[in-house]
């Protein structure tokens, strides 16, 4: 289990580092007429993604070291091997969310911010377990209204 979490943390760190290059190509606030430039929000998300990925990796390595130390102090268990875990949707949900995020980034350039945001919010709501169509519709409508309100109205940043 710790190997999979380590791989996930490394994938998060790699995603943050790869996303840094195109994000730095966005104009800064000095280059546009808005108070906060288009680079600020994605750059802050990438910084948080990188820091949280590093924290997850550090905690996983610490837990592995502690569990290895605890196993060396105790007697060996019978059987020696843990039962194999089934590969199911619940066990791979985090990978689906990462794939949806990458798809959202690609789709945003093809169909525009608003349409891609509607699809991304709908997919993520379903991936996170919402089953009531009323809850799904309310979540999508509120998320899109917040995105439009914050970026276009509050910050004055035109969306693609």
Structural domain tally of the chain? 2
Give the range of the structural domain holding residue 59, as residue numbers without chain letter: 1-73
Kindly state whether residue 85 falls inside one of the protein's structural domains: no
Are 67 and 100 contained in the same domain? no
Taking only the tens place, the pLDDT of each residue in 100-146 is 999 998 898 889 888 999 999 999 999 998 899 999 999 999 999 99
Q: If DSSP codes are grouped into helix, strand and coil, which group holds residue 85?
A: coil
pLDDT score recorded for residue 138: 95
5 and 68 housed in the same domain: yes
Phi, psi of 24, rounded to the nearest 5 degrees: -70, -15
Closest CA to 12 of 60, 69, 42, 56: 56
Instruction: Please report which residue ranges of the chain form alpha helices under DSSP H.
Output: 2-24, 40-73, 89-111, 113-127, 133-148
The helix (H) or strand (E) run that includes residue 129 is none
pLDDT at residue 34 in the model: 67
User: Domain boundary residue among 73, 105, 131?
Assistant: 73
Please indicate whether residue 26 or residue 53 has the higher confidence score (pLDDT): 53
Of 38, 15, 19, the C-alpha closest to 28 is 38
Question: How far apart (Å, rounded) are the C-alpha atoms in residues 8 and 97?
Answer: 12
* Long-range Cβ contact pairs of 128-131 (< 8 A, separation 24 or more): 128/93, 128/97
């Amino acid at each position: 289990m710790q190997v999979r979490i380590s791989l996930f943390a490394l994938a998060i760190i790699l995603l943050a580092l790869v996303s840094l290059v195109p994000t730095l190509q966005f104009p800064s606030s000095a280059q546009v007429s808005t108070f906060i430039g288009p680079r600020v929000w994605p750059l802050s998300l990438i910084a948080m993604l990188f820091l949280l990925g590093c924290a997850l990796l550090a905690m996983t390595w610490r837990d592995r070291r502690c569990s290895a130390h605890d196993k060396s102090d105790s007697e060996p268990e019978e059987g020696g091997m843990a039962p194999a875990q089934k590969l199911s949707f619940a066990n791979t949900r985090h990978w689906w969310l990462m794939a949806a995020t990458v798809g959202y980034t690609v789709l945003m350039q093809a169909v525009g911010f608003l349409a891609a945001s509607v699809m991304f919010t709908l997919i993520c709501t379903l991936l996170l377990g919402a089953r009531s169509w009323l809850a799904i519709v309310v979540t999508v409508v509120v998320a899109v209204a917040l995105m439009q309100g914050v970026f276009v109205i509050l910050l004055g940043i035109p969306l693609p």
